[in-house]
Chain A
Amino acid sequence: DQQVKQNSPSLSVQEGRISILNCDYTNSMFDYFLWYKKYPAEGPTFLISISSIKDKNEDGRFTVFLNKSAKHLSLHIVPSQPGDSAVYFCAATGSARQLTFGSGTQLTVLP
């Protein structure tokens, strides 16, 4: 029973273009959503988050969009850079502050 799903295991994008990573969730009790980035042999690094009371949060090249009615969120990276190549995890949490992760999307940015 996957409560957080990332249906695309991989994504390749040309340098300078937009990367869009998607995530769906099923639990209506989730009220805070986070994106983490993971390089090989390192732990996940917090990237950006959004509260359920918002529909957009922006931080530099990274923007997260939340569509509560569709239970869908997405991460936009513009412009994409080769250093952005990593595995991106979507995570969701509620009042217990326990993260439920998706299975990740491997982003490859081609020079």
Chain B
Amino acid sequence: EAGVAQSPRYKIIEKRQSVAFWCNPISGHATLYWYQQILGQGPKLLIQFQNNGVVDDSQLPKDRFSAERLKGVDSTLKIQPAKLEDSAVYLCASSDQNTYEQYFGPGTRLTVT
């Protein structure tokens, strides 16, 4: 069974530029999550989708971050414009609606200069 796929793996941009990350969850997983992990900290939830609907985006900085999950499968997370403090690893995870365990992709390491 294929795991959670993410791309790109690494991205370097200058502040005020925009960037987008892509995630393909495990097949059949209805719930998809985006996390931000800053160096030395644990992952922090940004947004949770159930199929193609948003369950919780209370931690998403909506003035610059946006996310969508069209057709309830793939998802994209966008930052526009980026700030220096957005430098982090962005992790995508998915889960079956009947379990608590979440399965993570390899992440995208973003560096904003």
Distance to closest chain B CB from A108 (angstroms): 17
Total contacting residues, chain A, CB less than 8 A: 23
Query: Would you list which residues of chain A between 77 and 100 have a CB under 8 Å from chain B?
Result: 89, 91, 93, 96-100
Tell me, in angstroms, the Cα distance from A32 to B100 when the chains sit together: 8
Indicate which residue in A41, A46, A101 contacts B103 across the interface (CB closer than 8 Å). Answer: A46
Q: Specify the chain B residue showing the minimal Cβ separation from A45.
A: B104
Indicate which residue in A4, A43, A96, A100 contacts B104 across the interface (CB closer than 8 Å). Answer: A43
How many A-B residue contacts, CB cutoff 8 Å? 55
Q: Specify the chain A residue showing the minimal Cβ separation from B3.
A: A43
* Residue positions of A touching B, CB distance < 8 A: 4, 32, 34, 36, 41-46, 49, 89, 91, 93, 96-104
Q: Quick check: B56 and A98 within 8 Å, CB to CB? A: yes
Q: Quick check: A44 and B104 within 8 Å, CB to CB? A: yes
Q: Quick check: A41 and B40 within 8 Å, CB to CB? A: no
Tell me, in angstroms, the Cα distance from A104 to B58 when the chains sit together: 24
- Residues in B whose Cβ lies below 8 Å from that of A93: 100
Tell me, in angstroms, the Cα distance from A95 to B84 when the chains sit together: 34
Distance to closest chain B CB from A34 (angstroms): 7
Q: Quick check: A97 and B95 within 8 Å, CB to CB? A: yes
Q: Quick check: A46 and B56 within 8 Å, CB to CB? A: no
